[in-house]
A and B are shown apart, each in its own frame.
Chain A
Amino acid sequence: MTSRRILVETKNLSKDPPPGISATPDEDNCRYFHVIMAGPKGSPYEGGLFKLELFLPENYPLCPPSVRFLTKIYHPNIDKLGRICLDILKDQWSPALQIRTVLLSIQALLSAPNPDDPLANDVANMWKNDEEEAISVAKSWTRRYAVMDS
Chain B
Amino acid sequence: MNTEGDVDSDMECSDNECFGDDSDYYNTDDIDIEQVDPSKNDPEYFEFECLTEEQVERLLNESVELLSNNLQILPSLAKVLLHYHNWNVSEIIGKYRENASQLLINSRVKPSSAPASNNCSRYLTCPVCVLTHSSDKFLSLNCGHLFCKGCWTIHFEVQINQGISTGISCMARECEVLVPEDFVLKLVLQPNIKEKYLQYIFQDYVKSHPQLRFCPGPNCQVVIKSQDTKAKRATCSKCKSIFCFKCGIDYHAPTDCHTIQKWLTKCADDSETANYISAHTKDCPKCHICIEKNGGCNHMQCYNCKYDFCWMCLGDWKAHGSEYYECSRYKENPNIAHESVHAQAREALKKYLHYYERWENHLKSLKLEKETFDKLKTRINQKVMSGRGTWIDWQYLFTAASLLAKCRYTLQYTYPYAYYMDTGPRKELFEYQQAQLEAEIENLSWKIERAETTDRGDLENQMDIAEKRRTTLLKDFLDV
**Contacts from A to B (Cβ < 8 Å):** 1-2, 4-5, 8, 59, 61-63, 92, 94-97, 101
**New A-B pairs, 14, CB < 8 Å, besides A8-B130, A101-B173:** A1-B131, A1-B154, A2-B129, A5-B128, A59-B154, A59-B158, A61-B128, A62-B154, A92-B174, A94-B172, A94-B174, A96-B171, A96-B173, A97-B173
Contacts of A95 in B (CB 8 A): 127-128, 147, 151, 155, 171
- Main SS of chain A's interface residues? loop
Contacts of B154 in A (CB 8 A): 1, 59, 62
A71 to B173, CA, bound (A): 29
- How many A-B pairs fall under 8 Å by CB? 42
Which B-chain residue is minimally distant from A88 (CB atoms)? Answer: B173
Which B-chain residue is minimally distant from A63 (CB atoms)? Answer: B158
A101 to B174, CA, bound (A): 13
- B175 interface residue per 8 A CB criterion: yes
A67 to B423, CA, bound (A): 55
* A-B pairs with lowest CB-CB distance, top 7: A1-B129, A62-B158, A94-B173, A95-B128, A95-B171, A8-B130, A96-B173
- B315 interface residue per 8 A CB criterion: no
A94 to B171, CA, bound (A): 5
A4, A5, A59, A94: which has the most chain B beta carbons within 10 Å? A94
A59 to B158, CA, bound (A): 8
Contacts of A8 in B (CB 8 A): 130
Contacts of A2 in B (CB 8 A): 129
- B389 interface residue per 8 A CB criterion: no
In this complex, the interface size class of chain B, counting residues with CB under 8 Å from chain A, is 10 to 19
Contacts of B94 in A (CB 8 A): none
- B115 interface residue per 8 A CB criterion: no
A8 to B126, CA, bound (A): 13
Which B-chain residue is minimally distant from A12 (CB atoms)? Answer: B130
Contacts of B155 in A (CB 8 A): 62, 95
Is A5 in contact with B129, judged by CB distance below 8 angstroms?
A: yes
Contacts of B131 in A (CB 8 A): 1, 4
Is B172 in contact with A96, judged by CB distance below 8 angstroms?
A: yes
Contacts of A1 in B (CB 8 A): 129, 131, 150-151, 154
List residues of B (156-213) whose CB comes within 8 Å of A's CBs: 158, 171-175
A36 to B130, CA, bound (A): 26
For the complex formed, measure the closest distance between the CB of B153 and the CB atoms of chain A, giving whole angstroms: 10
Which A-chain residue is minimally distant from B150 (CB atoms)? Answer: A1
Is B158 in contact with A5, judged by CB distance below 8 angstroms?
A: no
User: Can you list 18 A-B contacts with CB-CB less than 8 angstroms, sorted by A residue number?
Assistant: A1-B150, A4-B129, A4-B131, A59-B154, A62-B155, A63-B158, A94-B171, A94-B173, A94-B174, A95-B128, A95-B147, A95-B151, A95-B155, A95-B171, A96-B127, A96-B128, A96-B145, A101-B173
Which B-chain residue is minimally distant from A8 (CB atoms)? Answer: B130
For the complex formed, measure the closest distance between the CB of A107 and the CB atoms of chain B, giving whole angstroms: 17
A63 to B154, CA, bound (A): 10
Contacts of A61 in B (CB 8 A): 128
Which A-chain residue is minimally distant from B131 (CB atoms)? Answer: A4
Contacts of A4 in B (CB 8 A): 129-131
For the complex formed, measure the closest distance between the CB of B138 and the CB atoms of chain A, giving whole angstroms: 14
Contacts of B172 in A (CB 8 A): 94, 96
For the complex formed, measure the closest distance between the CB of B318 and the CB atoms of chain A, giving whole angstroms: 58
Which B-chain residue is minimally distant from A7 (CB atoms)? Answer: B130
Which A-chain residue is minimally distant from B125 (CB atoms)? Answer: A8
A1 to B171, CA, bound (A): 16
Which A-chain residue is minimally distant from B159 (CB atoms)? Answer: A62
Which B-chain residue is minimally distant from A1 (CB atoms)? Answer: B129
A1 to B131, CA, bound (A): 8
For the complex formed, measure the closest distance between the CB of A2 and the CB atoms of chain B, giving whole angstroms: 8
A92 to B145, CA, bound (A): 17
For the complex formed, measure the closest distance between the CB of A30 and the CB atoms of chain B, giving whole angstroms: 15
A61 to B35, CA, bound (A): 68
Which B-chain residue is minimally distant from A3 (CB atoms)? Answer: B129
Contacts of B127 in A (CB 8 A): 95-96
